[in-house]
A and B are shown apart, each in its own frame.
Chain A
C-alpha cells in the first residue's frame, strides 16, 4: 500500500492485553468430563481443588479433569449445591495455580471476557461487558443466590464452570448457564469461593429456614403506625414442625422485620435468612391483630423443596 500509515498503537496494545488476560486465566482452567454429550469447564480456586458447575456433572463417579498439559486425571466429587449450580472436585497432583479473584467490586459496563475449556486442551473466550448485577435470585433448583453478574459475552457450550474475567485476567465470577437456562450468568467469585469452601468441608450447603409461606402485602391503614413500614409479608402457610410454627408464628401474622431489618418482599427475607446460620436465633417482628409483636425464632435446616 502507498501513503503514510499511522500505527494503531493503542488498539494493538488493548488487543494484546486481552489475549494476555485470557492466557493468564487459562492457566487455572481445566476441562471437566462428567456428562454424556460433551464436557464443561472447571476453575482451580485452591491447591488441588476445582469449582465446576453442578449441572454439568451428571454422575458422581468416574469424573475426569484435563489440565492444559493434556493429562487426564481422576477427580473426586467433594460436594455439590444445586441451588447455586456449584460443585467441588478434588484432584491429586494437579499442580495448577489457583485463579486470582478480582480485587474490587464488579462495575456494570466493565469489559469482561468469558473463558472456558469446553473441549480438552483448547481454551476458548468471548468478549462482552458486565451487563448488570442482579439478585437475589430464586432459581428453579433451589432458594436463592444473593447476587449474580449478567454478561453479554457469548456463553459457548461447555463454558459453565469457566470464568468471567476482567482485562487483567482476574476472576469476577464463575460462569453458569444452568441457573437460568441458556442465559450467561456468573456467580461472583466471593460467593463461589464461600460455597466451595463449605462444599469441600461438609459436602453440602445448609441453608437456614423459617418454614413459612408468605406473600407481600400492604399493611391495612388502620394498622399502620408511624413506626411501621408500608409493606410486610403475610404468612399464608406454616410448615408443620417448622421453626416458625414451633416458636409461635401464626397464620395471618404480617412479618415486618427480621432482626430489625424491614422485609417487604419474600426475596428480602430469603436474602436475610441466607446470611444467618442454622441454629441462630432471630428476632421476627410481626403485626398481629394490629399490634406489633416480637418473637424469637431459632432457624432450622432447610430440607430440599422446603419453603422460606
Chain B
C-alpha cells in the first residue's frame, strides 16, 4: 500500500518550499531501494554492483563484472553475505544472472524502460571506487542504439550524464518512482554513461531458469 508523499511547505507570500520536499522524497526513495542493491565481491575485493530482481535471491548484474572472477560473493546492504553461482550470462548484452544461495533477499521493483523520456531524473546506486552503496543523480540523456568499433551493435541503450566509476558496473538505475529501469554497463568518452534498459533485461531473463 502507499500513503501520500511529502508536501511542499506553504510559505506566506512566497512560493512553496519544494526543495525540502524534494530532498525528503529522494531520501525516501533511496531508503526504499537500497536493500535490493547488492555488492559483488571476489576475494574480498569489490567487483561491482547488482540488484535483486527475482525471488530466491536472483541477482542481475553486468557480465563484465563477473567475467574474470570466480568465486563471487553477494553482499547485502545490511552486511549479509552469500556465495553465488552464475545461472546465465550473455557477454554481448553485458548481462548476467546470479543465484545468491543463502537466505531471502529484498526484491526491487522493475519498471518499464520503454516509457523513459529524455530529461527525466535517474539515480544510480553502486560502489564507485569501492565506496559502498553510493548514489549518483543524473538524467536520461538519450535513448537509442549503441554502435562501437569492433563490437556488435546493441539496438537499445539508455544514455545518461550520471557520473559513474568502476564499482558502479552492474548496478541499477532507478527512476523517480524507485523502479529499476536499467543496469549500468559502461562509460564512453569519460562522461557518457551507458545502461542496458530494463526492457532488454526483462526479455532476456524470461528465458532464464528461476532460482531455487
Contact = CB atoms under 8 A, between A and B. Distances in A.
B89 to A, nearest CB: 27
A10 B177 CA distance: 10
B52 to A, nearest CB: 11
B6 A122 contact: no
Nearest to A26: B118
Judged by DSSP, the binding face of A is mixed
Given A1-B109, A122-B143, A153-B161, A7 B118 contact: no
A18 interface: yes
Nearest to B161: A126
B176 A14 contact: yes
A127 B161 contact: yes
A123 interface: yes
Contact of A123 (B3, B118, B175, B178): B118
Interface string B24-38: 111011001000000
B53 to A, nearest CB: 13
Nearest to A17: B119
A19 B144 contact: no
Contacts of A18: 119-121, 139
Interface of A: 1, 4-12, 14-16, 18-23, 26, 113, 115, 119, 122-127, 153-154, 156-157
Contacts of A19: 117-120, 140
B78 to A, nearest CB: 15
A5 B33 CA distance: 11
A113 B121 CA distance: 12
B101 interface: no
Contacts of B132: none
A253 to B, nearest CB: 50
Contact of A14 (B22, B28, B191): B22
Given A125-B139, A153-B161, A156-B192, A5 B176 contact: no
